[in-house]
Amino acid sequence: MGIFTIHDPLTFVLGLLGNVISFVVYLAPLPTFVRVCRKKSTEGFQSVPYVCALFSAMLWLYYGVMSPHCTLIVTINSAGCVIETIYLAIYIAYATKHAKMITTRLLMFFNMGVFGSIVLFTLMLSQGKRRILILGWISSAVSVAVYAAPLGVLRLVICTKSVEFMPFHLSFFLTVSATIWFAYGLSIKDKFVALPNVLGFFLGVLQMAVYMLYRNAREVKDEKPAVGKMSSMGSVEIHTMDVKLDLPVGNSTNLVDINSEDNKKQTELLPV
């Protein structure tokens, strides 16, 4: 198949940079799960972003394996699958009985049912370029949905006039990641990798613009509203909490995650 062949040094550099940035984004929730392990409690935040991030990574991994010259799509999404699986294992270990049941059902529906159906459908009813085309459209649609998720956070920032929900550095890395993966998609002539990241770039720029607009606004002292979590080719997603976005790569996923720490809300963007 030639999926592990790199012909162009520039393509390799772009893909490698995309891998590094996306890997850092995947690790963004790590402090949250360290806290979960220490407190032996999930503190009420939801698992949906991580289920969606795993689903997105699985789709892009499958797409990368089936497509030629997608080595670096395979590598980052393989890492994403492992990392998100670890997050979910920790979540299930310390979640309440009800949360465990919901998470298990979500995993069975998306990561076993939907993904399994996609694999069977594409393997049995399509082949060659047609199979890659179907997988590409499905993966791109998931990526667009994940990239659109932060719009809810933007609305929250505008309504509260507080940027504590949306740290600038995370918006910056989202924009850089989308730019690099767009360039990588163009380099390998793969529209399914390139096009979703156009939306990712513009949403990243929009988030930074909103941040600059409200960074000096007075802090809202009213009671902070609760935010529901959803994930991640991306990401989406109160108790005293954090709001987190998971975005997958190639992808990935940035999603809103709700956590409890020092009575502070913070939005983190996770990864094609």
Identify the pLDDT of residue 81: 96
Q: For residue range 228-246, list pLDDT tens digits in order.
A: 333 334 433 333 344 344 4
> How far is it, in rounded angstroms, from Cα 191 to Cα 223?
45
Tokens of 43: 């503190």
Tokens of 109: 């529906």
Tokens of 8: 């162009």
- Secondary structure percentages of the chain, helix, strand, coil, to 5: 65, 0, 30
**What residue has token string 């990798």?**
193
Q: Which of 64, 41, 61 is nearest to 53 (CA)?
A: 61
Q: Which of 252, 243, 246 is nearest to 269 (CA)?
A: 246
pTM value? 0.74
3-state SS class at 245: strand
User: 76, 250 in Cβ contact below 8 A?
Assistant: yes
Q: For residue range 61-97, list pLDDT tens digits in order.
A: 999 999 887 889 999 999 999 999 999 999 999 999 9
Identify the pLDDT of residue 226: 40
> How far is it, in rounded angstroms, from Cα 23 to Cα 114?
25
Tokens of 149: 């998720």
**What residue has token string 């799960």?**
33
Higher per-residue pLDDT: 182 or 265: 182
Return the percentage of the chain with pLDDT > 70, whole number. 76
Q: How confident is the model at residue 267 (pLDDT cuts 50, 70, 90)?
A: very low
Q: What is the mean pLDDT of the chain?
A: 78
